[in-house]
Chain A
Amino acid sequence: MSKIHVTTSVNGDAVEFLCDPRETLLDVLRDRLGLTGAKEGCGTGDCGACTITLDGRVVCSCLVLGAEAEGREVGTIEGIANGEELHPLQRKFIEHAALQCGICTPGILVATKALLEKNPDPTETEVRYWLAGNLCRCTGYDKIIRAVMDTAAELRSESKELS
């Protein structure tokens, strides 16, 4: 079966790859591009471990074909930190012990970063519903929610200081 040639951008870098028409974007990222931060927990869009952004929108990369990345902007967990400096969410997740095994963490970070960009002042309920597509089996979500709320508060006070 002949492969498809795809030109795209991943975390701001220009990327080209060849993929099978049936191959998911998740498999392309992991197996062809070496970006194994996104995880496959289910392959059916139910767990959120594979969460990435596509043109800024949160998607399950297991439900996107590699070929669909053509001309789009892909964002993954590997692109969240700014060089040495962690994104505040990453820092707060460590501080709040918001991960145990950590397999859900990349997906949850990508999803919550998008949330805070959209809604800098979410309620607990809004955070819980935003994350309803990201399964975590270890933590009971308590510390995850607290880490997100605390990050949001910190980002708000920073942006207040700036303005």
Chain B
Amino acid sequence: MSLDDVKTTGFKYVGTSPDRPDGLDKVTGRAKFGADAYAPGMLHGAIARSPHAHARIISIDTSKAEALEGVKAIVTRADFRDDLRGDHWNVLENVMAGDTALYDGHAVAAVAATSVLVARDAAKLIEVTYETLPHVTDVDEAMADGAPVIRAGTADKSVPEGLHPNVVRYHESGHGDVEAGFAEADLIIEDHFRTEATHQGYIEPHACLATLGGDGKGDLWCCTQGHWNVQKICSSLLGLETSQLRVTASEIGGGFGGKTVVFIEPVALALSRKTNRPVKIVMSRSEVFRASGPTASTSMDVRIGMKKDGTITAAKGVFRLQGGAFPGAPMEFTAMCAFAPYNLKHVKQIGYDVMSNRPKQAAYRAPGSPMGAFAVESVIDELCNKLGLDPIEVRLKNASREGTRASFGPTFQRVGLVETLEAAKAHPHYSAPLKPGQGRGISCGFWFNFGGETSVSLALSMDGTVQIVVGTPDIGGSRASMALMAAEELGIPYENIRCTIADTASLGYNEVSHGSRVTYASGLATIKAARDAVKKLCGRAAAKWGIDPEAVDWVDGCAVPSGPNAGDFDPMPIAQICKSMGRTGGPIVGHFEASPEGAGVSFATHIVDAEVDPETGKTSVVRYTVVQDAGKAIHPAYVEGQYQGGAAQGIGWALNEEYVYGKDGRLQNDVFLDYRIPVASDLPMIDTVIVEVPNPGHPHGVRGVGETSICPPLAAIANAVSAAAGVRLHELPMNPPRILAALARRD
């Protein structure tokens, strides 16, 4: 097999669901997560945070805190670099406030002490004098004339003249002539939609253990989705040479995009440098809500024209995203994904990135895409209702296929949207009868998926077993997937392979575990590293046999003479080659480094049945089916898990979850009791259908699977609820008060 061969059928290991290698550690409690690390002489850190949404910091008096017994050091912004610009300045400004606190929960100082309790007490004794400033937390208000300016001069060149200074980036894309398209429509619907900010809600709060000395050498242990990124940013913020800071990723207790950035890590390093002792910081849940990276909130207008036969003639969307007190709300992703499922002659999408006095948003599973899908798929649903058309047929009629010019520019290669729609149509769920008070909704969703810098090394042991070292933290079972792909290539049992997540000192740069890139990119790199090792193994056999290495095949874990030498020698098993590797040329290691660019976009179609209680306004999801194109499911049980998890998070986002800010600009619901994520008794079983339309850009056909699953739920549930309630819901979450208000509107 050539090194670039793509294999999409005839798998032996890929496509099975063996036990995960870290399973035992995780069911016995011995797996080490972020907060599970301790070091001799360790101090505990705590952070003092702004109680104001927007306030100038006049002075910080640390004398009382310093006088407390057990306090060893206090740091403020002065303990970080003062010559940063651009992105890293923004990160630092978020990690530790400069002259202004920009949101409720913004860090202003931090303390290291001999115990957690003393550190927390000391943080409370830090006296900060503030001059409060006017604030704004709502996206539309932040764009309106007269809104308080978060930071003048932040807007980049993309922003048209005349907009409020809080609008800091602008996006426009599409093709055709939308006005001409609307003129062809038999029915046009335009509507306004809003979604509140939600939080990824990972159960493990951010945690780290930092050790840094005056010699500029440091070690950092933390729960992160990408430790090379942590290394790069922390070394920059503290003025260290990148390679002198070694970062180890702990087991990670959920991330969903929220652990792609740094918050406490630079602070712990600064405290460690100042005390010359290891410092551990663990966020409280309230800190996670107030001061990590929730999603953007949105305000959106979508207009779609349709012919009587269901053909969409034109579509236009305006997407305004508030991303907190920094640039970066993923409005271009919202805009680019919103209409991606459809083959449109005329389409235009506009995005606004708006700053407000909220924490800096971070990625959350397909960042930006679910909100756009909510608006667009709601309008399509309404058009289908008004024109008496079947929602799946309409979507099939307009679906993006291979060769479709995507709404965001490029031409799609092989994609699996039609296959997900056909599978949804054929699923018994779609034709099952509904009970009174229930409604059914469907929605499609789209996400790009991503490649990025990737580096993998695969070392053979003397007994022919294999160690794979990858650099992408394992969030949902990726070590099992890597081992399966390597087993497939090497022709050896899954159990003979151990996959480890390396620290930053052990591999080249690895991009963060985001963009559904792990199984795609680290998987591709693992396969190529295995093929590299196979080539070397074949070379050793060829040398032993005295034949041309090209005349050796690799079959079922053995070197086999082929071509003119076929049958001349017995197959030589991997263990035999490895046993003598010291004498035949030294250790055998396969490796691969690249930034693969063949990530396959993915589509999903979800079907939801919802029941609305007209007395209380409470909605129950009674049946849920996820249909999604995986390209190739390496470990199907974990692919199903990604589908189910995305759907469950979508249910929370659609029905319950929201950031509630008071008039004072402070977050009102900073504990799980008040920010209510779905619990077991809220949900039904979540049925899954794995569609496999191979991605030509991956040697086993993998597309990413982690993110697309959260794109359709908001709209699918809104469509189901609207059907059940007999009135269209335009705002998320669809909590009982909103449902009751909508029912009152209907009657």
Check B29 against A78 for contact (C-beta < 8 Å): yes
Does any Cβ of B come within 8 Å of A7's Cβ?
no
Task: Say yes or no for B6: interface residue by CB 8 A criterion.
Answer: no
What residue of chain A has the Cβ atom nearest to residue B480's Cβ?
Answer: A97
Cβ proximity bits B279-317 to A, threshold 8 Å, 1 near / 0 not: 000101100000000000000000000000000000000
Residue of A nearest to B120 (CB): A22
A138: contacting residue among B33, B254, B672, CB under 8 A: B254
Specify which chain B residues have a CB less than 8 angstroms from the CB of A106 in the assembled complex.
Answer: 27, 29
Chain B: number of interface residues, binned into ranges: 35 or more
Distance of A91 Cα from B28 Cα, bound (Å): 10
- B-chain residues with CB within 8 Å of residue A18 when the two chains form the complex: none
Question: Given A46-B672, A81-B28, A95-B19: A132 and B35 within 8 A (CB)?
Answer: no
Task: Give the dominant DSSP class at A's interface.
Answer: loop
Tell me if A152 is interfacial: C-beta within 8 Å of chain B: no
A105 at the interface (CB under 8 A from B): yes
Taking a contact as CB atoms under 8 Å apart, the answer to whether B671 and A102 are in contact is no
Looking at the complex, which one of B201, B475, B647, B671 makes contact with A140 (CB distance below 8 Å)?
B647
Q: A27-B116, A39-B204, A97-B638 are in contact. Are A141 and B683 (CB under 8 A)?
A: yes
Least distance between B683 CB and chain A CB atoms (Å): 6
B29 touches A76 (CB 8 A): yes
A97 touches B204 (CB 8 A): no
Binary interface encoding of chain B residues 172-215 relative to chain A, with 1 for a CB under 8 A from any of its CBs, else 0: 00000000000000000000000000001111110000000000
Assess whether A8 is interfacial by the CB under 8 Å rule: no
Number of A residues with CB within 8 Å of any CB on chain B: 61
Q: Do B201 and A137 touch across chains, with their CB atoms under 8 A apart?
A: yes
Bound Cα distance A43, B35 (Å): 13
On whether A103 and B203 interact (CB within 8 A), knowing A133-B679, A140-B648, A145-B685, the answer reads yes
- Interface residues of B, dominant DSSP: loop
> Which residues of chain A (15-67) have a CB below 8 Å from chain B?
20, 22-23, 27, 30-31, 35-44, 46-47, 49
Within 8 A of A (CB), among B435-486: 475-477
Select one of A20, A44, A129, A137 contacting B203, CB under 8 A. Answer: A137
In the complex, the chain A residue whose C-beta lies closest to that of B674 is A46
Given known A102-B31, A105-B27, contact A94–B19 (CB-CB < 8 A): yes
Interface string of B633-653 (1 = CB under 8 A from A): 000011011101101110000
Judge whether A127 is part of the interface by a CB distance below 8 angstroms. yes
B29 touches A41 (CB 8 A): no
B427 within 8 A of A: no
Are A39 and B476 closer than 8 Å at their CB atoms?
A: no
Q: Which of B20, B22, B33, B201 contacts A39 (CB 8 A)?
A: B33
Bound together, the chains give a CA A160 to CA B254 distance in angstroms of: 39
Closest Cβ of chain A to B512, distance in Å, is: 16
B562 within 8 A of A: no
- Which B residue's beta carbon lies closest to that of A125? B681
Instruction: Note all chain A residues with C-beta closer than 8 A to B29.
Output: 35-38, 76-78, 106
Q: Is B677 an interface residue (CB 8 A)?
A: yes
B680 touches A78 (CB 8 A): no
CB of B26 within 8 Å of the partner chain: yes
Q: A133-B679, A135-B672, A139-B641 are in contact. Are A101 and B35 (CB under 8 A)?
A: no
Q: Does A117 contact B (CB under 8 A)?
A: no
A74 at the interface (CB under 8 A from B): no
Residue B381 lies at the interface, judged by CB distance under 8 Å to chain A: no
In the complex, whether B39 has a CB less than 8 A from a CB of chain A is no
Q: Are A103 and B253 in contact (CB under 8 A)?
A: yes
A143 in contact with B644 (CB, 8 Å): yes
Q: Which residues of A (82-111) have their CB < 8 Å from a CB of B?
A: 86, 89-91, 93-97, 99-106, 109
Task: Tell me whether A39 and B677 are in contact (CB under 8 A).
Answer: no
Contact with A along B1-40 (1 / 0, CB 8 A): 0000000000000000101101110111111110110100
**Which of these, B27, B115, B637, B640, contacts A86 with CB under 8 Å?**
B27
Known: A97-B20, A140-B647. A131 touches B680 (CB 8 A): yes
A143 and B27 in contact (CB under 8 A), knowing A101-B252, A101-B254?
no
12 A-B residue pairings within 8 Å (CB atoms): A37-B29, A47-B285, A89-B27, A100-B476, A103-B253, A136-B203, A136-B680, A137-B202, A137-B645, A138-B476, A141-B648, A143-B640
Which residues of B are in contact with A by a Cβ distance under 8 Å?
Answer: 17, 19-20, 22-24, 26-33, 35-36, 38, 115-117, 200-205, 251-256, 282, 284-285, 475-477, 637-638, 640-642, 644-645, 647-649, 671-673, 677-681, 683, 685-686
* 10 closest A-B pairs by CB: A37-B29, A103-B253, A140-B648, A102-B26, A140-B644, A46-B672, A77-B29, A94-B23, A97-B637, A90-B27
